[in-house]
């Protein structure tokens, strides 16, 4: 009986991560529309804050949009940046991250404007990132994964477990350029090594948070590391690295919430692609579909 | 200029396979419901054929369902089997395949009844299958994929290119058992070898065909083959096998429709997981999402 009691929640938890990353109630939000295209979702209270800036934001039926005077990328950036700064002063937005994200419906379309990373979830617009699975294959065929622990002074998820490398995708940087940059900063992985990382797909989710709505797509990479490689953090984001057997990582993901929320999806994707979660798992097809919003 | 002209359709075609496998108009169908659960979609004309069997099929609002007298798995099987046989005699269904598929909403739930494979698309119920990517890694690091050509006497897609192994998932057989069986029949891959295949995920699609609606999930496997392995067909389904560089396979998938329709999705998934289609591809995120209905 004890085993059955253990088994049931164990089989549940992979899917709990999918549910957790996709929990949202769009009734709490108003569509954010520009040039007749829906770009995001803004919580009702934040809509009211934005509408106070009459030269920048307008109502359009049930939606909110930008003033028609703001036609170009640069005029929009300028006007929105002023609003963001004012809302920070008023205490309605957290301090700037000084990293700009493109505001767009697809990574492959030109952005309508750019937004400081701190404001992105408040507008509920799409955001993109890169995450890396760094692993070693042992001589006996077993697989170890390198896992990071986030520094305790991090704004988000301090002290939680993380992928060896992960980062947001700022405007103007290619995906591979960004991966190389993050590999250097977060784990001292050389450019020669990081360019051997294999792009293996992407996961995406739509998650309601205190700030608003996160609609994130994470481009995933696998990097085979040599047995003697040891990552070293440079930018202060990571306090420790661990080299753990994949079974241990799978157990941690399965059993709870020690990893930063979205890393669980990156790891479930890894476990599926490498055959550690098999078609016998009762949520196999649900997990596969659930990893892509 | 010539290069640009070439490039544009080339970049389009991967996504065309996703569109092709997901083209459907549910207005042409009526829901097929049992125990308040939607199990499938049946084309209006075929609904009329079924409703002629008043002891078996009933209207329920806009939907069609089974008679309340048919409560158990076996009574349903018996009654539906008689209808199917009669409709074959009337020329409204093709001849039996003598292979039964489970009728269910999820591979992981007990089936409501079983249906001969030939009738499955007419009811628009879920179907499952296994597909294998058989590849070799060459000493220079390049990758070859084994590709099959379907025999000219096949009912579906005669003479078209196919994965080295693929097959429908009949009732009562485990996924791995089925893969082992198909590996033996289609390519003379021994059980010892086929059990080393790695389950790597699944693709799914909803496709309207002449018969009705296909709502298929294919469990995908990767199998690394030794340099001297040569597949041999046993069951007459395959006329030839080819060992081609992955780049050649990618080009064929990209440029047109030489592969059986659903094999293209299995191969696009392989190309993404192994880094041959990269995040630079303008349809990358659309392809990843499009591979799962």
Do A115 and A168 belong together in one domain?
no
Does the pLDDT at position A260 exceed 80? Answer: yes
Length of chain A: 293
Do A61 and A175 belong together in one domain?
no
Residues 6+ apart with CB under 8 A from B104: B39, B110, B111, B112, B125, B126
* Neighbour tally for A176: CB within 10 Å: 18
Residues 6+ apart with CB under 8 A from A57: A50, A51, A64, A65, A66, A67, A83
- Three-class SS string for A189-229? CCHHHHCCCEEEEEEEEEEECCCCEEEEEEEEEEEECCCCC
Q: B198-208 and A57-60: which strand pairing? A: unpaired
Do B167 and B105 belong together in one domain?
no
| Tens digits of residue pLDDT in A56-113 | 999 999 999 999 999 999 999 999 999 999 999 999 999 999 999 999 999 889 999 9
Out of B106, B174, B289, whose CB is closest to A292? B289
Confidence of residue B10 (pLDDT cuts 50, 70, 90): low
Cα(B18)–Cα(B281) distance, integer angstroms:
15
Mean pLDDT, rounded, of chain B: 95
* Neighbour tally for B20: CB within 10 Å: 15
Do A99 and A173 belong together in one domain?
no
Please check whether residue B37 lies inside any domain of the structure.
yes
Does the pLDDT at position B13 exceed 60? Answer: yes
The pLDDT value given to residue A12: 73
Confidence of residue A8 (pLDDT cuts 50, 70, 90): very low
Max CA pair span of chain A: 68
Residue where one domain finishes, among candidates B93, B110, B125: B125
Domain containing residue B186: 6-24+127-290
Do A36 and A18 belong together in one domain?
no
Partners of B175 on chain A (C-beta within 8 Å) are: 279-280
| Residues in a beta bridge with B137 | B143
Domain count of the fold of chain B: 2
Please check whether residue A6 lies inside any domain of the structure.
no
Residue where one domain finishes, among candidates B66, B92, B125: B125
Length of chain B: 293
Tokens representing residue A66 in the block: 């930008």
Does the pLDDT at position B4 exceed 60? Answer: no
Mean pLDDT of B34-48: 98
Please check whether residue B1 lies inside any domain of the structure.
no
Partners of A107 on chain B (C-beta within 8 Å) are: 279, 284-285
CB–CB of B219 and A174 under 8 A? no
Residues 6+ apart with CB under 8 A from A3: none
Please check whether residue B272 lies inside any domain of the structure.
yes
Interface residue of B180, B199, B278 to substitute, partner A, most A CBs within 10 Å:
B199
CA A250 to chain centre: 20
Please check whether residue A5 lies inside any domain of the structure.
no
- A98: region left, alpha or beta (phi > 0 left; psi from -120 to 50 alpha): left
Tell me the C-alpha to C-alpha distance, in Å, between residue A228 and each of A8, A138, A166.
Answer: 38, 11, 22
Do A204 and A65 belong together in one domain?
no
In contact, A199 and B275? CB cutoff 8 Å: yes
Do A146 and A117 belong together in one domain?
no
The pLDDT value given to residue B12: 73
CB–CB of A288 and B292 under 8 A? yes
The pLDDT value given to residue A10: 57
Do B188 and B82 belong together in one domain?
no
Cα(B284)–Cα(B271) distance, integer angstroms:
11
Please check whether residue A151 lies inside any domain of the structure.
yes
Do A77 and A146 belong together in one domain?
no
In contact, A64 and A99? CB cutoff 8 Å: no
Q: B126-137 and B213-224: which strand pairing? A: parallel
What's the burial of A20, exposed, middle or buried (CB within 10 Å: 0-12/13-18/19+)? Answer: middle
| Tens digits of residue pLDDT in A215-233 | 999 999 999 999 999 999 9
The pLDDT value given to residue A155: 86
Please check whether residue A2 lies inside any domain of the structure.
no
CATH number, domain of B82, equals: 3.30.750.160
Please check whether residue A113 lies inside any domain of the structure.
yes
The pLDDT value given to residue B1: 29
What residues of chain A have any CB closer than 8 angstroms to a CB in chain B?
A: 106-108, 174-176, 198-202, 204, 217, 219, 272-275, 278-280, 282-286, 288-289, 292
Confidence of residue A150 (pLDDT cuts 50, 70, 90): very high
The pLDDT value given to residue B25: 97
Do B192 and B264 belong together in one domain?
yes
Residue where one domain finishes, among candidates A87, A102, A124: A124
| Tens digits of residue pLDDT in B205-222 | 999 999 999 999 999 999
Do A260 and A141 belong together in one domain?
yes
Partners of B273 on chain A (C-beta within 8 Å) are: 200-201, 273
Do A112 and A137 belong together in one domain?
no
In contact, B202 and B216? CB cutoff 8 Å: no
CATH number, domain of B227, equals: 3.90.79.10
CA B88 to chain centre: 23
């Amino acid at each position: 009986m004890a085993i059955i009691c253990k088994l049931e929640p164990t089989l549940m938890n992979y899917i709990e991560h999918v549910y957790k990353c996709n929990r949202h109630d769009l009734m709490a939000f108003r569509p954010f529309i520009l040039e007749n295209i829906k770009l995001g979702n803004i919580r009702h209270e934040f809509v009211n804050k934005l509408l106070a800036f009459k030269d920048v934001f307008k109502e359009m039926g049930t939606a909110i949009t930008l003033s028609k005077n703001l036609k170009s990328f640069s005029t929009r950036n300028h006007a929105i940046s002023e609003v963001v700064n004012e809302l920070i002063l008023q205490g309605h937005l957290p301090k700037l991250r000084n990293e700009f994200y493109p505001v767009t419906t697809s990574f492959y379309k030109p952005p309508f404007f750019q937004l400081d990373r701190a404001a992105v979830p408040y507008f509920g617009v799409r955001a993109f990132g890169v995450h890396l699975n760094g692993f070693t294959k042992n001589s006996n065929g077993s697989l170890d994964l390198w896992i990071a622990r986030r520094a305790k002074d991090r704004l988000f998820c301090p002290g939680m477990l993380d992928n060896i490398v992960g980062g947001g995708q700022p405007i103007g940087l290619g995906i591979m350029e960004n991966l190389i940059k993050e590999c250097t900063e977060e784990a001292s992985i050389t450019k020669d090594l990081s360019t051997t990382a294999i792009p293996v797909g992407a996961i995406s989710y739509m998650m309601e948070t205190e700030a608003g709505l996160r609609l994130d797509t994470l481009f995933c990479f696998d990097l085979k590391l040599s047995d003697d490689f040891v990552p070293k953090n440079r930018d202060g984001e990571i306090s420790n690295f661990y080299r753990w057997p994949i079974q241990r990582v799978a157990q941690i993901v399965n059993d709870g919430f020690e990893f930063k929320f979205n890393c669980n999806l990156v790891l479930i994707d890894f476990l599926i692609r490498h055959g550690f979660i098999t078609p016998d798992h009762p949520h196999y097809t649900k997990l596969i579909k659930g990893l892509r919003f």
